[in-house]
Amino acid sequence: MLAETRKRGYGSVEDSFEIGTSAIAAPVFGMDGQVVAVVSIAGPSALLTTSKREELSKPLLDVTRQLSELDLHASMSAAV
């Protein structure tokens, strides 16, 4: 399961943490390759079906790639 998640770039769950809730999530990487944040989309499993999660995965990955390019880790460190 973890290898598949890494390969596609995002995780997907259905009824894993709470019955009736599904979600997808993808990491945001800093310039050093470390995960600095995660973006997730969650909702009722009846609406966030497997096919809907697959449909939302492309815009989710687009957003996380754009955020990764901003080097959030350096931005957060500078703000402290």
Name the percent of the chain lying above pLDDT 90.
Answer: 68
Quote the number of domains for the chain: 1
Task: Give the pLDDT band (50/70/90) at residue 80.
Answer: low
Residue type (1 letter), 14: E
List the single range of 10-19, 21-30, 42-51, 61-70 with lowest mean pLDDT: 10-19
- Whether 34 is in a domain gets the answer yes
Q: What is the CATH number of the domain that holds 41?
A: 3.30.450.40
User: What range defines the domain where residue 37 resides?
Assistant: 2-74
Predicted TM-score (pTM) of the model is 0.81
- Does residue 42 form part of some domain? yes
Going by C-beta distance under 8 Å and a sequence separation of 6 or more, which residues neighbour residue 77? Answer: none
With beta carbons less than 8 A apart as the criterion, state whether 60 and 39 touch: yes
